[in-house]
Amino acid sequence: MLDELDVLDEQTLVVRAQEGDARAFETLARRHQDALYRLAVRVMGDPAEAEDALQEALLDAWRRIGRFRGESAFSTWMYRIVTNRCLGMLRKRRPIPVEEVEAPAPAHDSPERAAERDAGMAALHRAIAALPDDLRVCWVLREMEGQGYTEIAEITGATEDAVRGRIHRARTKLAGAMRSWR
């Protein structure tokens, strides 16, 4: 069933949410939740922690919606809140051993190819998990979420030059870690 709010544009929903309309905010959150959850999973490395981070970030966003000035896209603002929540959670937790990072579920293939692909993907996940948080966030936003340098700078609060440097360092570290898989 289509809700009357589903047909409203983003700017109208933001204004209504700023006026205290919780349903308008729910509509905004629903529109962006898949991308935000994907970001949280990729930064946190754990779906359960990502879900917690996203829920906390949505609560943060609802509390702060009155401060959103529209200088950037609503999605960019939400990416920043989710990224900050994830980084805060990462700082508080003890590092998880890289062996515990989940590899993706195997696809149907020959057993040899499936084993090789799974081992390569597991190595990549370990390499990504081993990146320092600031490098991992920038790399995930660029390579997995397709964000531009300007947006990543807005999301992370870093300069564009810093973002470019972090992405370069992340790529260099990942290339080194994956050298044996070429």
Q: What digits encode the pLDDT tens for the residues 83-139?
A: 999 988 988 875 544 444 454 555 566 777 777 777 878 888 888 888 999 999 999
Q: What digits encode the pLDDT tens for the residues 129-173?
A: 889 999 999 999 998 888 999 999 999 999 999 999 999 999 999
pLDDT of 60? 93
CA distance 154 to 143: 17
Using CB atoms within 10 A of its CB, is residue 21 exposed (0-12), middle (13-18) or buried (19+)? middle
pLDDT of 17? 93
Q: How remote is the C-alpha of 161 from its chain's centroid?
A: 20
Cβ–Cβ < 8 Å for 98, 177:
no
DSSP type of residue 146: -
Q: What is the DSSP string of 54-101?
A: HHHHHHHHHHHGGG--SSS-HHHHHHHHHHHHHHHHHHHSPPPPGGGS
Residues 6 or more apart whose CB falls under 8 angstroms from that of 35 comprise: 75, 145
Per the prediction, the chain carries an average pLDDT of 86
pLDDT of 105? 52
CA distance 27 to 7: 10
Q: What is the mean pLDDT of residues 58-70?
A: 93
pLDDT of 122? 81
Calculate what percentage of the chain has a pLDDT beyond 90. Answer: 57
Q: Provide the pLDDT confidence category of residue 7 given band limits of 50, 70 and 90.
A: confident
Calculate what percentage of the chain has a pLDDT beyond 70. Answer: 89
pTM value? Answer: 0.72
pLDDT of 100? 46
Q: Provide the pLDDT confidence category of residue 67 given band limits of 50, 70 and 90.
A: very high
3-state secondary structure of 46: coil
